[in-house]
Amino acid sequence: MTVKKLFKKEVSAAHGIVQVLEDAGIDLVFGIAGGHSGHIWAALGDFQKTIRTVLVREESLGSAMAEIYGRLTRKPGVLVGQGPWVLGNGLLGTIEAHLSSSPMLLLTDFSDSPELSLHGPYQTGTGDYGGWDARQSFGGVTKQVLEAHHPAAAVHATQLAIKHATAGQPGPVAVLFSVTSFNGLVPQESKPNLYATRPYLIERSTAVDENRIAAAITALAQAKRPVIIAGNGVRIAQAYEQLQAFAQTLNIPVVTSPSGKGVFAETHPLALGVYGTYGTPAANACVSAADFVIVVGSKLTAGDTINEHTSLLNPVKQTFIQIDIETRNASWTFPVEHVVLGDAGVVLSRLLAVAKKNKTTIDGKGASRVAALRKKLGYFNDKAYQDSSLPMVPQRVIAEMMRALPEDAIVTCDAGENRIFMMHCYQTKRAGGFLQAAGGGPMGYAIPSALAVKLIHPKVPVIAVCGDGGFSMTMNGLMTAIEHDIPIITVIFNNRMLGWSTHIRGPFGAQFHDFNHAAIAQSMGCHGVKVSTPDEFASALKECLSLKIPSVIDVVISGELSYKDFMSPLLKQKPNTK
């Protein structure tokens, strides 16, 4: 391949930055203009045929939308805005991207005035006396920080940012532009030299250690009760099909981590749902009884492992295979005998191919084991799904959603008790059908993430589920939904309080007035309805699925149920030391 020069004529730095985004195949950009980032916004106007620019009402919305774009497409989600507010307001999505390994670009600025940088500053992030230090601040919440002080460097920094955001374990990268980087044009013969963007794009590596693959398959063949733990890394790698093929062919049960919920259909005969602190009893029982654990794209957090409870996961009595793209994630929580580094989809395919080639007999007896555990311990069939009491219990609301939503629907969740209710009680019908904050767990996440999902998948129903607390944080996202014609459905679990806070420390400082959120939505131009019975909710949901405008269903629920009701009994049991 012959490397080509990037430009055929002189261009502005801002035009060059946006051309790099276009060359990288990035077709959505989010944010709000401010400071020197206004130059980039002006340039985006010339690329409307290839890049859709989504103006949000506040940076937190744009950051969550960019994080979801990165998580679902493997291309960096882009947030453009002014430095102090991309850092401050935009932390919602940035920290989520940092902790859940989503590729993301923050194209922002120092808000500097170089000729007066040593005088009393206004907004300036150069780190001089009286100002704030943008590089140090962004460095604490991103994978890498780059800065540019002249036009050619601004373009080159954008190319390198895409490379860093997608290489190895993905993450957010910040590019800080000085106002001087937008002064003048990028000359044809610049320093640094500027070449076509394509070679900077990191392609999925097919490299794996074949010796480790062979050793892992040999060990797996000796297992009597294997289980697969699938994490968010399966989603990042878009390895849904490879995971299903591996599990089906070798007949191995699949549980997911909380952040991995949605990577494997929970209606599948091999599925047992989420495991861990808020896992299903069947999933935790399967993991506890396993003699062989295959961990795919999971960091095995404290919540996943129930604070490393040895009655759940125990490297002394269980053999582990861990598949991860990042070397440092391997043998992090537990010592792992069989570490296989690489893209989850590639590694799963190679493991299966080697098992077939070597005619290794592996039958995890997953279908029969799963069926027995479901029968013994229950599986999305709790009697509360039929509860007719009022106010409605969350399980009944979720049951109505499960009945009404089509198989291709995608649900996004907020933080707080409503997320625990959905994670534990909502049964996903397909891979990719459920999304929640995988690392940071911020409130106000459901609506902007649903907006991004709908832009990426415009033909499927997208439902944001949030509490009344989370809704009030980002309900201005509905303005963006109206302005950009993004017809999401928002379901509010309205118990007039911060449920988690109320149930952990009492009602003081955690109670809300009884607002009519449906009426608020109507005032923005959305369809809105407030419901209090199962029949009303079912009817409203059916109606909203047929509409072409954003809609809000404000659901009155009981506040009696607590997140504590879904905690694993293992939290109260002493670990098995044998």
Structure tokens at 94: 């940035």
Neighbour count for residue 456 (Cβ, 10 Å): 17
So what's the pLDDT on residue 528?
A: 98
Q: Residue 435 and residue 402: Cα distance in Å, rounded?
A: 15
How far apart CA 470 and CA 477 sit, in angstroms, is 12
CATH of 210-377, one of 3.40.1390.10, 3.40.50.300, 3.30.70.1450, 3.40.50.1220: 3.40.50.1220
Mean local confidence (pLDDT), 89-107: 97
Instruction: Report whether pLDDT(40) > 90.
Output: yes
Angle at 164 between CA 202 and CA 18, to 5 degrees: 85
pLDDT of 575 higher than 80: no
Q: What is the pLDDT at residue 358?
A: 85
**For residue 576, what pLDDT band results from cuts at 50, 70 and 90?**
low
pLDDT of residue 1: 59
Is 86:108 a contact under the CB 8 Å cutoff? yes
User: The whole model's pTM is what?
Assistant: 0.96
**Residues 224/289, Cβ–Cβ less than 8 Å:** no
What are phi and psi for residue 173, nearest 5 degrees? -130, 135
Backbone angles phi, psi at 11, to 5 degrees: -135, 165
- Joined together, the tokens standing for residue 319 give 């053999």
Q: Which of the following CATH numbers is that of domain 11-200: 3.40.1360.10, 3.40.50.970, 3.90.1200.10, 3.65.10.10?
A: 3.40.50.970
Domains 11-200 and 210-377 share a fold: yes
- Asked if pLDDT for residue 558 goes beyond 60, the answer is yes
Model confidence band, residue 474 (pLDDT cutoffs 50, 70, 90): very high
Residues forming a β-bridge with 51 = none
Report which of 447, 453, 444, 471 is spatially closest to residue 409, judged by C-alpha positions: 453
If one counts every other C-beta atom within 10 angstroms of the C-beta of residue 539, the result is 15
Burial call 235-270: b when 16+ CB within 10 Å, e when fewer? bbbbbbebbbebbbebbbbbbbbbbbbbbbbbebeb
What three-state secondary structure class fits 126?
strand
The rounded distance, in Å, linking the Cα atoms of 26 and 76 is: 7
Question: Tell me, what amino acid is at 525?
Answer: G
Query: Looking at residue 203, what is its pLDDT?
Result: 85
Integer CA distances (angstroms), 356 to 247, 249, 282, 351, 520, in order = 13, 10, 30, 9, 58
Please tell me the distance from the alpha carbon of residue 403 to that of residue 129, in angstroms, as a whole number.
60
Residues 181-207: what's their mean pLDDT?
88
The helix (run of H) or strand (run of E) holding residue 156 is helix 151-166
Per-residue model confidence as pLDDT tens digits over 67-84: 999 999 999 999 999 999
Beta-bridge mates of residue 462: 410
Pick the closest to residue 104 from 164, 165, 18, 59 (CA basis): 165
Return the structure tokens found at 436.
Answer: 């929640």
Asked if residue 96 lies in contact with residue 439, where contact means CB atoms within 8 angstroms, the answer is yes
**Is pLDDT of 278 > 60?**
yes
Strands 104-109 and 11-12: unpaired
Q: Are strands 226-230 and 172-177 parallel, antiparallel or unpaired?
A: unpaired
User: What pLDDT, on a 0 to 100 scale, did the predictor assign at position 578?
Assistant: 57
R_g of the chain computed on alpha carbons: 25
Nearest-angstrom CA–CA distance, 406 and 254:
23
| Tens-digit pLDDT profile for residues 516-527 | 999 999 999 999
The DSSP symbol for 202 reads P
The CATH number of 383-565 is 3.40.50.970
Q: What pLDDT does 577 receive?
A: 59
Q: Is the pLDDT of residue 9 over 90?
A: no
In this model, does residue 443 exceed pLDDT 60? yes
Helix (H) or strand (E) holding 251: none
CA 443 to chain CA mean position, Å: 13
Q: At 202, is the pLDDT very low, low, confident or very high (cuts 50, 70, 90)? A: confident
Mean per-residue pLDDT over the chain, rounded: 95
**Residue 48 in this model has a pLDDT that exceeds 60:** yes
Q: State the pLDDT at residue 353.
A: 96
Question: Structural domain boundaries of the chain?
Answer: 11-200, 210-377, 383-565
Task: Return the beta strands (E) in 266-349 as ranges.
Answer: 271-274, 292-296, 319-324, 338-341
Structure tokens at 490: 């928002």
DSSP 485: T
